[in-house]
Amino acid sequence: MFCVKCGKEERTYDSLCSSCYLQSNRFTQLPDHLDLQQCAHCDDYLMDKRWSHYDNELDAIYDHVAAHLLVRKDAIVRDLDIEAEEIDRKSYRVHVVATLAHEDLEAVEETETIVRVKRNVCPKCNKIQGNYYESIVQVRPTGKRFSDDEREDILRRATSYINAASKESRDAFMAKAMQAHGGYDLYISTIALGKTLARELVSMYGAEYKESSSLQGRKDGMDIYRVTYLVRLPPYRVRDIVEIDGKLYLVHSTGPQSAKLRNLKHGDNLTVSNDHLRDVKVIGTKDDVMEAVVLGEGRRELQLMHPVSFATIEVRKPQGFERTGDAVKVFLHEGEVYIIGN
């Protein structure tokens, strides 16, 4: 076989030798310019119809150019080298070197384009700016108002949960959080996310849970509902001391169905359903716990210095308790001293 252009005898491609074929054919092409959309609020970039986060703008530009490089169907890109030079703010000249394979031939082609980064607003931020929400999670106390620390902890936990969900879906966000009736109203982007957040708070705090919905209108022939999830936290928290049938218990942990308690006097454990603890009396909190210096220890008791009167007292050790330091945490109630832990 010989080349119809130069006459060289070798394998031909469309009647051309390898050299003449590569000179006469091009495998890649780029538009003269490309516009890359960037959200003016969250700084994410629109890549192939999806908004994505990039820590470095140049990485977004490289991916955008690579996605728009047109390659002939009979060629395979083996390597792509992309370099960008800033022309001015949000405008770049991009140089591309592509190494390709066509049958048993290798081709190296260079091309350029201009990338202009355009500021826009993504659908998620557009909804946030418009205070869009489909559900409300109402977090309320029982009996007493939240302390400032509790309120901050609840908002921090809710925000952390939403932020984690937003990494999986751009539809996940909290439009706003407002203090209301001693607690919070959390305005959540979707019904499903509001429900999972409410259940997460129920699991964390052993809270009471209710939901209700209201019709907001119709869209495309479908009823549009807005759902409210009420999360009412119990009167107790983890590390609180509560009274049940005249006995004192430390709240060890809480769950969606029950709470685990420890008897302060004897140390035995008790599991109680949340329904039976709705009206439980809280005797003390972690702020009421004090430290007492250990003066001596017997097999079943500790000799302590009373944290208020400084008198020497003897307190029976709860079941399973083992001292690890020179002081223990105690709780004082009606003249009695209860060992809480180390």
The predicted pLDDT at position 165 comes to 94
Instruction: Select from 106, 90, 87 the least CA-distant residue to 98.
Output: 106
Is the model's pLDDT at 7 over the cut of 80?
A: no
The predicted pLDDT at position 24 comes to 82
Beta sheet of 33-39, edge-to-edge order: 50-52, 45-47, 33-39, 105-120, 91-102, 76-88
Rounded alpha-carbon distances, angstroms, from residue 232 to 52, 180, 236, 251, 272: 37, 13, 12, 18, 18
The predicted pLDDT at position 220 comes to 65
Is the model's pLDDT at 78 over the cut of 70?
A: yes
SS3 state of residue 42: coil
Q: How confident is the model at residue 8 (pLDDT cuts 50, 70, 90)?
A: confident
- Enumerate the β-bridge partners of residue 183: 180
Instruction: Give the pLDDT confidence of 195-206 residue by residue, as tens digits.
Output: 999 999 998 888
Spatial contact of 312 and 305, defined as CB atoms under 8 Å apart = yes
Rounded alpha-carbon distances, angstroms, from residue 322 to 298, 299, 328, 332, 341: 11, 10, 10, 20, 9
Query: Rounded mean pLDDT of the chain?
Result: 90
What is the phi/psi pair of residue 86, to 5°?
Answer: -70, 125
The predicted pLDDT at position 167 comes to 87
Instruction: Select from 154, 166, 148, 153 the least CA-distant residue to 44.
Output: 166
The predicted pLDDT at position 321 comes to 87
The predicted pLDDT at position 291 comes to 94
Instruction: Select from 99, 171, 166 the least CA-distant residue to 133.
Output: 171
Spatial contact of 73 and 95, defined as CB atoms under 8 Å apart = no
Place of tokens 């395979």: 76
CA 52, CA 39: separation in Å to the nearest integer? 10
CATH match for 289-342 among 3.30.160, 2.40.50, 1.10.10, 2.60.120: 2.40.50
Rounded alpha-carbon distances, angstroms, from residue 334 to 296, 310, 312, 315, 337: 24, 17, 18, 15, 9
What string of DSSP letters covers 264-311? TTT--EEEEEGGGGTTPEEEE-GGG-EEEEEEEE-SSEEEEE-TTT--
Spatial contact of 56 and 37, defined as CB atoms under 8 Å apart = no
Q: Which residues of 50-76 are buried (b: 16+ CB within 10 A; e: fewer)?
A: ebeebeebeebbbbbbeeebeeeeebe
**Over residues 173-200, mean pLDDT:** 93
Instruction: Give the pLDDT confidence of 264-300 residue by residue, as tens digits.
Output: 988 889 999 988 888 889 999 888 999 999 999 998 8
Rounded alpha-carbon distances, angstroms, from residue 120 to 49, 94, 117, 141: 14, 22, 10, 41
Instruction: Give the pLDDT confidence of 240-252 residue by residue, as tens digits.
Output: 999 999 999 999 9
Tokens encoding 223 = 């009823």
CA 256, CA 275: separation in Å to the nearest integer? 11
CA 285, CA 288: separation in Å to the nearest integer? 5
Structural domain spans, the chain = 18-122, 131-232, 236-285, 289-342
Q: How confident is the model at residue 221 (pLDDT cuts 50, 70, 90)?
A: low
- CATH fold of 236-285, please? SH3 type barrels. (2.30.30)
